[in-house]
Copies of this chain bind each other. A is one copy, B any other.
Amino acid sequence: MATIQKLKLVPLGGLGEVGKNMLAVEYGRNVLIIDAGVMFPEQDMLGVDLVIPDWSQYLKDKKEWVRGIVVTHGHEDHIGALPYLLAEINAPVYATRLTIGLIDVKLQKHGLASRANLHVVAPGERLALGGLFEVEFFHVCHSIPDAVGLAIRTPVGLIIHSGDFKFDHTPTWGLPPDFGTLARFGSEGVLVLLADSTNADNPGFTPSEKTVDEGLDKVFREAKGRVILATFGSLISRVQQIINAAARHNRVVAVDGRSLEESVGRAQDLGYLNVPPGVLVDLPRLKGRPDHQIAIIATGSQGEPSAALGRMANGKHRHITIKPGDTVVMSSRTIPGNDYMVGRAINKLFKRGARVINGKADNVHVSGHASQEELKLLLSLVKPKYFMPVHGEPRHLHAHAELARGQGVPEQNIFIVENGMVVEFDENGARVADRVPGGWVFVDGSGVGDIGPAVLRDREMLSQDGFVLAVARLDQKTGRLIGRPQIVTRGFVFVKDNLELIERAEDEVIAALRMNGYQDPQITIRKALSELLYSETQRQPMVIPVIVES
């Protein structure tokens, strides 16, 4: 059968969006999955807790084909959906030691750790999967130790997947980039390169993690009181830098926030954090210690009110009250869409007297992703025949494609695709084949996939103008109204100040029902009320008639 001879790349997430990276590589009846991450909900995904890739259509009849799940590194946007995926398919997971450790932490929380099939691999190792794929893991630099890229040998050719990376000549942890191996792939001949587009619209080079050491050193040198640093739980390299800087300046470090405690604990257990004796202490043990000997690493870098820094900003933290003399350092990037929340937290911290140091200008954060010159260098080393930008919004994918074109990759060999679009390779070339229906699966509370666009549209409408509900008791024989209708409303107007409007709404329901001879009471009430309320307030609350027959 001809179809078995094709190599298919099927992005299931991470294309045209930030996060929930996931890609399937398919050949014959063999599927290899790369990463399974989550995405933070976008602003209009009201009430949604998490977003995971929608793999249901693609995997529907292919669950038995999955030979393995290969994970490039331990960040949420690459591992966060694994508990949901492993609940559906029981494939082995391959990753480096720290990555497996962080996956294990996650699976434990979901009660899945015992039955998962986790395998530690090392950079340089080659893994045969399903007889037709060979995966070679190669070391890359990123903002977490033990990150890898993937070289996947298939019957159609060699796939290079960059993973998340930057070319950091002086990384915080581990070796500099493995240019030799990348050049070797280039000589071997690369069919297709999939590369990280996160910073593809950023000119120049991303600064080394090392530059953050200088920024942090300045902060610790100048700070007279406590230093509180907000970062992501999974930015293990940053945690190491903070511990180093604190130790140099004779401060102890407390870790505040569950996700940080978990990942720092696991990284330390596995030997990926070097902590001088006595430097890490429990938060309650800071009591009584002079301020200039204290550093705190806290969750809440995105302004989340419920995270450690958010509780400090709101004056709701059990142990820490922000006061003049405190220095707060935002040592992470602000995810697009979170700038309002972050700004609000910063403003509240200022109001409480803290000095707040934020981001790039003060060298307290650098990106973990390659900028344009690095991306060009990767393209030059790997010399792929085909190119497929991954990990990024459309603007990043397009910017990355422009770089590839500039380096001579022919236009028709570049595939800017969306999630679910299948790119197919064979001896005749490459093309976008079919499209697998998919997109987002929303996790809300304990529900996975039980809300969708219809519920979100309702939430959006409710969030704008609230609702007005009219309960009408109708005689089941005559259909006539019994008594006055009851108006129940929330989020529309402040009822106590608008009793007259509510009364007019009741009158309107009575009049409309009577005028219409009690025909189609639902439609009659909805129409009459919507019109009245709009003309009175220029607002469009959700209008819901409820008929009680008696």
Q: Which residues of A contact B (CB under 8 A)?
A: 16, 42-43, 46-47, 203, 336-337, 339-341, 343, 346-348, 350-351, 356, 361, 393-395, 398, 444-447, 450-452, 454-455, 458-460, 462-467, 469, 471, 473, 482, 486, 488, 490-494, 497-498, 536-539, 542, 544, 546, 548, 550
Contact = CB atoms under 8 A, between A and B. Distances in A.
A343 B395 CA distance: 9
A450 B343 contact: no
A347 B544 contact: no
A447 B537 contact: yes
Nearest to A493: B450
Contacts of A343: 336-337, 393, 395
A482 B336 contact: no
A127 to B, nearest CB: 36
A534 B492 CA distance: 25
Contact of A550 (B447, B452, B473): B473
9 contacts: A47-B465, A336-B343, A343-B393, A347-B395, A348-B394, A447-B539, A458-B466, A462-B463, A467-B490
A537 B343 CA distance: 32
Contacts of A471: 471, 546, 548
A265 to B, nearest CB: 26
Given A347-B16, A394-B347, A458 B490 contact: yes
B494 A450 contact: yes
A309 to B, nearest CB: 15
B542 A488 contact: no
Nearest to A339: B339
Contact of A351 (B340, B394, B469, B494): B394
A544 B341 CA distance: 30
Contacts of A490: 458, 462, 467, 542, 544
Contacts of A544: 488, 490
Nearest to A547: B486
**Which 8 pairs from chain A and chain B are nearest by CB?**
A445-B538, A463-B463, A462-B462, A337-B340, A47-B464, A458-B491, A445-B539, A446-B538
Contacts of A452: 494
A435 B476 CA distance: 60
B550 A482 contact: yes
A395 B450 contact: no
Contacts of A339: 336-337, 339
Given A347-B395, A544-B488, A537 B458 contact: no
A340 B486 CA distance: 40
B398 A350 contact: yes
A153 to B, nearest CB: 33
Given A47-B466, A348-B394, A458-B490, 14 more contacts: A46-B491, A47-B463, A337-B340, A337-B343, A346-B395, A347-B394, A447-B537, A447-B538, A459-B491, A462-B467, A469-B488, A473-B548, A488-B546, A546-B546
Contacts of A398: 350
Contacts of A536: 446
A539 B46 CA distance: 13
Residue picked from A43, A446, A466, A488, most chain B C-beta under 10 Å: A466
A459 B458 CA distance: 12
Contacts of A348: 394
A257 to B, nearest CB: 21
Contacts of A445: 465, 537-539
Contacts of A356: 395
Contacts of A47: 463-466, 491, 539
A304 B53 CA distance: 28
Residue picked from A398, A463, A464, most chain B C-beta under 10 Å: A463
Contacts of A482: 550
Contacts of A340: 42-43, 336-337
Nearest to A452: B494
